[in-house]
Structure formats: structure tokens, C-alpha cells
Amino acid sequence: MTYNEQRFRAAMAQSNKSTPAFPTAQETWDARAPTVPLGVGWLQPEDISPMAVFLASDAAALVTGAEMAVTGGDAAKVS
């Protein structure tokens, strides 16, 4: 959500792409997206908000001590 050159460099390094001197958000997204199963460079607020709405709803009344991973499959990297 903010420009973070250090994070962009780290994300590009994880994708095994060469890192430009000053990576842009779009370059980083494009490099990272193919390595995530759902093909997204990183999550946007609208990707996470449905989980927040669910947890705030009556439907989640019995949900306790749970960890909800809204990651777009980031933990399952694609080579």
C-alpha cells in the first residue's frame, strides 16, 4: 500500500528475477505474480476484507482461537 523499495527488492529476489536499481510496484507485481498459485503479486485490501466482514458477522459467532490465512496461496510457492 506504500512504496517500499526494500520490500520490492526482496520480493523480486524471491522470484529469481533480476532487480532493477529502483524497482517499481508494477515491476515487482509482475515478477512476483507467477510464483503465487493464484497469480497475484500481493493482496489488495478488497482481497482481505471479506474475511474481516465474516469475522465481524454473526456467522463467525462460534469461531474462536482460529488462524485464518488469507494469503492467495503465498505459502505454496510455485517454481
Does residue 60 register a pLDDT over 90? yes
pLDDT at 79: 56
15 and 31 in contact (C-beta within 8 Å)? yes
pTM: 0.57
pLDDT at 34: 84
DSSP assignment of 11-55, as one string? Answer: HHHHTTPPPPSS--HHHHHHHHGGGSTT--SS--HHHHHHHHHHH
Burial of residue 31, with CB atoms counted within 10 A of its CB: 0-12 exposed, 13-18 middle, 19 or more buried: buried
Cell of 19: 532487480
59 confidence band (pLDDT: 50, 70, 90): very high
Query: What would the pLDDT profile of 4-57 be if each residue is shown by its tens digit?
Result: 888 888 888 877 777 888 888 888 888 888 887 777 777 788 888 999 999 999
**How far is it, in rounded angstroms, from Cα 34 to Cα 37?**
7
